């Protein structure tokens, strides 16, 4: 772990101990440390009540007092310090109704989801690991603390956490845990859409998305959520071939575009789904634009070679102008990620070059403005002007005419003449 962070957490634990309390590093930070993975944050569990924690550390924020959590700031790092507690009465299959502070750290570990997340470590480096979490880490196993069905019944989000950990860590799921998940999968209907898709995002954007997606397909879990996920496990499984390159894509946005593409989603449908899944507008729009370039590309490829390569190039450049160079580059990256190449994949390197060599990429680059044209042609601005600009833009972008003010105005006059 990051030494300054570990030292800062250590000082908090020392302070709590000196005040007569118990305190340990717990959860994800121990799991990741034992796995030799980077640790981004450290949580602390303590016998001290929240009031005592707050009085010992003036620089703190009462993040979730009713659950016993105080965020302590030390050396600029925020640490969640949580009082040992048990939970009960999960009437909504997500949040416990009763939180009871307890004396024994083992009781606190028992409420945690998986054995690998239910380990804590003291200042002397000794582990407290009542459920065999360290052994499960060695065996690469996700296993519920206690009875899987009960634990998933209490909090249905744990099922997605299970898939997420199995996927990102490349672990197996213990038999009983998987069986419990299959039996309790309908519970996902109780979980807020944001929570579900935040977990899905960690799967799709994580290191082994195909593993997680495969487990989601086999479990049928997502189809049980509140938000539409309009594909059955079979459909997801069938799409897997088209998704084999997804883990190599660096861009999260392109991973979503590839997923939706492989599932046969139109641009408009993708945008609606991403909205329903509570994704930010930038992701929604970015994915939709990539899929619009795909639609234009496929239409151009299907138009057939008899129309000639020049024609394909013009259609592609028109799509770049309409949907943006970023979206076009994104689509070309996706094409390269397909196993046997997607539609027209042979054209990818040509298209890359066309894109690179494009002299103008939008109206802002064009050497004339609408105002220039209106006065040069001595006409009132109107819808004709936008259409004319688009034609000039495509002509300049394809290199048919140089991007030069005088030449463009001459060309505009000629075009205008032909139309009247
Ligand atoms: P990461 O931060 O990488 O997602 P993490 O294990 O730290 O992994 P957090 O959500 O930060 O996950 O939770 C911290 C700890 O709290 C977990 O390690 C686990 O012990 C416990 N925990 C978190 N969510 C749940 C849950 N839904 N049910 C039971 N225990 C949970
Ligand atoms: Mg964490």
Mutation to probe ligand 1, out of 5, 27, 33 (largest number of atoms < 8 A from CB): 27
> For the residues 155-178, what does the mean pLDDT come to?
98
Q: What percent of the chain has pLDDT over 70?
A: 96
Domain CATH number, residue 389: 1.10.246.80
* Euclidean distance between CA atoms 131 and 119, whole angstroms: 8
Answer yes or no: do 201 and 241 share one domain. Answer: no
pLDDT of residue 337: 79
- Measured from the CB, is residue 69 less than 6 Å from ligand 1? no
Answer yes or no: do 354 and 365 share one domain. Answer: no
- Find out whether 208 and 196 touch, Cβ atoms under 8 Å: no
The burial class, CB within 10 Å (0-12 / 13-18 / 19+), for 230 is exposed
> For the residues 290-314, what does the mean pLDDT come to?
83
> For the residues 299-320, what does the mean pLDDT come to?
81
Answer yes or no: do 108 and 199 share one domain. Answer: no
pLDDT of residue 307: 63
For residue 82, give the nearest of 102, 98, 59, 97 by alpha carbon: 102
pLDDT of residue 415: 86
Q: What is the pLDDT of residues 22-68, one digit of tens each?
A: 999 999 999 999 999 999 999 999 999 999 999 999 999 999 988 99
Q: Of the residues 311, 327, 358, which one is the last residue of a structural domain?
A: 358
- Measured from the CB, is residue 157 less than 6 Å from ligand 1? yes
Containing structural domain, residue 410? 359-420
- Measured from the CB, is residue 158 less than 6 Å from ligand 1? yes
Answer yes or no: do 200 and 283 share one domain. Answer: no
> For the residues 364-379, what does the mean pLDDT come to?
93
The burial class, CB within 10 Å (0-12 / 13-18 / 19+), for 138 is exposed
Q: What percent of the chain has pLDDT over 90?
A: 81
- Measured from the CB, is residue 159 less than 6 Å from ligand 1? no
- Measured from the CB, is residue 162 less than 6 Å from ligand 1? no
Answer yes or no: do 187 and 99 share one domain. Answer: no
User: Which residues lie closer than 8 Å to 50 by C-beta, 6 or more apart?
Assistant: 62, 65, 68, 69, 70, 83
Counting from 1 in the atom list of ligand 1, the atom nearest the Cα of 164 is 4
Q: Which of 76-85, 91-100, 141-150, 384-393 has the lowest mean pLDDT?
A: 91-100
Interface ipTM > 0.90: yes
Answer yes or no: do 159 and 129 share one domain. Answer: no
Q: Of the residues 133, 149, 175, which one is the last residue of a structural domain?
A: 133
Answer yes or no: do 25 and 76 share one domain. Answer: yes
pLDDT at 274 over 80: yes
User: Which residues lie closer than 8 Å to 177 by C-beta, 6 or more apart?
Assistant: 142, 143, 144, 148, 162
Domain CATH number, residue 58: 3.30.460.10
Tell me the pLDDT band of 275, cut-offs 50, 70 and 90.
very high
Mutation to probe ligand 1, out of 1, 26, 28, 67 (largest number of atoms < 8 A from CB): 28
Bridge partner residues of 214 (DSSP)? none
* Mean pLDDT score across all residues of the chain: 93
Answer yes or no: do 25 and 40 share one domain. Answer: yes
pLDDT at 340 over 80: no
Domain CATH number, residue 175: 1.10.110.30
pLDDT at 253 over 80: yes
> For the residues 174-189, what does the mean pLDDT come to?
97
CB atoms under 10 Å from CB of 211, counted, come to 19
Q: Of the residues 229, 246, 277, which one is the last residue of a structural domain?
A: 229
- Measured from the CB, is residue 117 less than 6 Å from ligand 1? yes
Mutation to probe ligand 1, out of 63, 112, 177, 198 (largest number of atoms < 8 A from CB): 112
- Find out whether 223 and 232 touch, Cβ atoms under 8 Å: yes
Assign residue 414 a region (left: φ > 0; alpha: ψ between -120 and 50; beta: otherwise).
Answer: alpha
Q: What is the pLDDT of residues 191-250, one digit of tens each?
A: 999 999 999 999 999 999 999 999 999 999 999 999 988 888 888 888 888 898 999 999
Answer yes or no: do 43 and 68 share one domain. Answer: yes
Answer yes or no: do 293 and 193 share one domain. Answer: no
**pTM summary value:** 0.91
Answer yes or no: do 196 and 308 share one domain. Answer: no
> For the residues 132-138, what does the mean pLDDT come to?
98
Answer yes or no: do 33 and 126 share one domain. Answer: yes
Distance 38 CA to ligand 2 centre (A): 12
Q: How many domains does one find in the chain?
A: 4
> For the residues 346-350, what does the mean pLDDT come to?
85
pLDDT of residue 63: 92
pLDDT at 379 over 60: yes
* Euclidean distance between CA atoms 13 and 7, whole angstroms: 10
């Amino acid at each position: 772990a990051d030494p300054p962070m570990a030292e800062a957490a250590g000082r908090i634990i020392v302070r709590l101990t000196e005040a007569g309390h118990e305190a340990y590093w717990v959860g994800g930070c121990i799991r990741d440390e034992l796995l030799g993975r980077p640790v981004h944050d450290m949580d602390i569990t303590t016998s001290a009540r929240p009031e005592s924690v707050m009085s010992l550390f003036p620089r703190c924020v009462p993040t979730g007092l009713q659950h016993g959590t105080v965020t302590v700031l030390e050396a600029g790092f925020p640490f969640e310090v949580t009082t040992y507690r048990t939970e009960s009465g999960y009437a909504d299959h997500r949040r416990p109704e009763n939180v009871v502070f307890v004396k024994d750290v083992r009781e606190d570990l028992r409420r945690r989801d998986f054995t690998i997340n239910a380990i804590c470590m003291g200042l002397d480096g000794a582990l407290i690991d009542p459920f065999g979490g360290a052994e499960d880490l060695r065996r690469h196993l996700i296993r519920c603390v206690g009875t899987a069905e009960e634990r998933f019944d209490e909090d249905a989000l744990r099922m997605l956490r299970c898939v997420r950990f199995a996927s990102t860590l490349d672990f197996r799921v213990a038999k009983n845990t998987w069986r419990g998940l299959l039996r309790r999968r309908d519970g996902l209907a109780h979980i807020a859409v944001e929570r579900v898709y935040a977990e899905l995002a960690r799967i799709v954007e994580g290191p082994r998305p195909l593993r997680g997606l495969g487990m989601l397909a086999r479990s049928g879990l997502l189809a049980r959520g509140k938000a539409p996920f309009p594909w059955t496990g079979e459909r997801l499984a069938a799409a897997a071939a088209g998704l084999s390159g997804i883990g190599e894509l660096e861009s999260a946005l392109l991973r979503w575009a590839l997923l939706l593409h492989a599932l046969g989603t139109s641009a408009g449908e993708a945008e609606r789904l991403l909205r329903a899944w509570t994704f930010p507008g930038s992701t929604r729009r970015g994915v939709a634009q990539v899929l619009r370039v795909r639609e234009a590309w496929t239409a151009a490829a299907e138009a057939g070679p008899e129309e000639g390569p020049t024609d394909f190039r013009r259609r592609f450049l028109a799509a770049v102008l309409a949907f943006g160079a970023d979206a076009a580059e994104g689509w070309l990256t996706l094409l390269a990620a397909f196993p046997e190449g997607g539609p027209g994949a042979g054209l990818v390197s040509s298209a890359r070059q066309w894109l690179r060599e494009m002299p103008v990429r939008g109206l802002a680059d064009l050497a004339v403005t609408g105002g220039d044209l209106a006065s040069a042609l001595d006409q009132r601005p109107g819808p004709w002007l936008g259409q004319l600009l688009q034609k000039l833009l495509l002509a300049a972008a394809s290199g048919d005419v140089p991007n030069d003010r005088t030449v463009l105005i001459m060309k505009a006059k000629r075009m205008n003449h032909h139309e009247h």
